[in-house]
Structure formats: C-alpha cells, structure tokens
Amino acid sequence: MPKPYGIYRYFIQLQLDSVNNAVIGYELLMKQYTDEGWRPPQSFAAIPAATIASVLVATTEKVRLKVGSVSVNLNRTQMLNEEINTALIKAQSLLRPVRLNVELTEEETDKDISIAQMLPMISQYDARGMEISLDDVGTGQNQVADVKPLLPYASEMKFALQNFSVGIDDPQLQKKLIFWRDIAAAHKLRFIVEGIEDAHDDAVLDQLDVTFRQGYFYGKPTLLKVKPDDPD
C-alpha cells in the first residue's frame, strides 16, 4: 500500500499539575506525514481550513479522556474562518464535559486583525464553555503590548522554553519567566511552562513556583490515529 504522504493528524501531549502529580489536559499538535515520517508542517497558516476542520472533528470523536481540557492551536486568521469555527464548536460538543481550549498563536500575517474582529468568535466560545489560551508569551508577536488587550478574554497563558536559545539557568530567562508568571497570577490565569526537557528543568520550575508544565520530560507527543491505516 502506498504511503499517504501529505495527510495531517494530531499528536497529543500531556499537561501536568506538578503539585498534585495529575494530568490536567492534552495539547493537540498538528503534524504532516512526509517521506521522512511525521513532521510539523512547514507553515501552519498554509494548512487548508477544511483540513483543520475535518481532522479536528475526527480527532475529538476519538478523544474520550477524563481530563480537564484538550487544547488546539489557532492563529487569528484561522479564528475568523467560518468552517474552522463550526468545527471547533462541533468538537466541543463531542468532548463535553471535557473543555476545548483554543491556544491563540500570533503570526506576522495576522497583525492587521483586531480584537474587535475576533470578539464574536470569542463570545461564541465562551458561551459554550470553551477557553482562550495565549501561546508563546514573551516571544515573537506576543510581547506585553500585544497580549494586554486579550487578557480580559483569556483563561490561560503559556511560556515556551524551547523558543529561547539559552537554558533555564540563564538569569535573564528566569527573570522573563517570573515576569509572565506574575502577570498570569495578577489576572487569575493558568500559567503553563512548556519545553521542559529533563529533571533539572523540572527542579528549577519547582524553585520558581510554577505548577503547570508540559514537555518531553513528562511525555512526548503521541499519534492519535483516526483511521486504522494511519501510518505509525
């Protein structure tokens, strides 16, 4: 049977409450099957809306997890797409009582999309018990001025260690992490640090009073098959 190059599937990675040693949710990470196996897409923005919609619904039909939430990444352009929004709402209905958490990513191509344009979709999400997560704070387009207008609508904030060239022992990185941790606390948002690779990273986060965590140290993303013949 020929390999199904070009198909997209979600991989799942757990999110941990380190205080209670409990899984609180899973992030759905989109990958594409290539001649080198499963790889992250070269451009998430280039994935057709119909593909995101169909794979998301097929995935959530398979997910019956006893966790608090399942997270999916979305940029502003994708949030404004009617087909994707219909799929998100259907996915939430399939997941209930598990909560669907939309991780809002920032891309340069989205800079002209205003909060006002997104509010109708955010209101739809809120009415259905869905939540908004601000992804990759402190890097790229997610600086304080960019994040501040979204804080009233968010429930979660994520800080990605893998986005920095220095390790967690770097004083400036720790200062930045603490800065965002405190913003999250001030606005009563969950604060998740991702990109935790080993026991040392884990121990430092204990010292920095970070409860919610995600990374290879706790578990690598695993393929959630939606068809029996999906490649491993």
Q: What is the identity of the amino acid at 52?
A: I
Bridge partner residues of 69 (DSSP) = 25, 99
Going from the C-alpha of 214 to that of each of 22, 119, 202, the distances in angstroms are 12, 29, 10
pTM for the complete prediction?
0.91
When pLDDT is cut at 50, 70 and 90, the band that residue 18 belongs to is very high
pLDDT tier, 2 (very low <50, low <70, confident <90, very high otherwise): low
Pairing of strands 190-194, 156-160: parallel
Question: Mind listing the pLDDT tens digit for each residue in 43-77?
Answer: 887 888 899 999 999 998 888 777 889 999 998 89
The pLDDT of 4-19, averaged and rounded, is 92
Task: Tell me the sheet residues that pair with 206.
Answer: none
Q: Does position 111 have pLDDT exceeding 90, yes or no? A: no
Cβ 6 vs Cβ 33: under 8 Å? yes
pLDDT of 20-50, one tens digit each?
Answer: 999 999 999 999 999 999 999 888 878 888 9
Q: Which residues pair with 17 in a beta bridge?
A: 22, 212
Calculate the average pLDDT of the chain.
91
> Do residues 177 and 195 make contact, with C-beta atoms less than 8 angstroms apart?
no
What does the block give as tokens for 119? 């509010």
CA separation for the pair 56, 54 (Å, rounded): 5
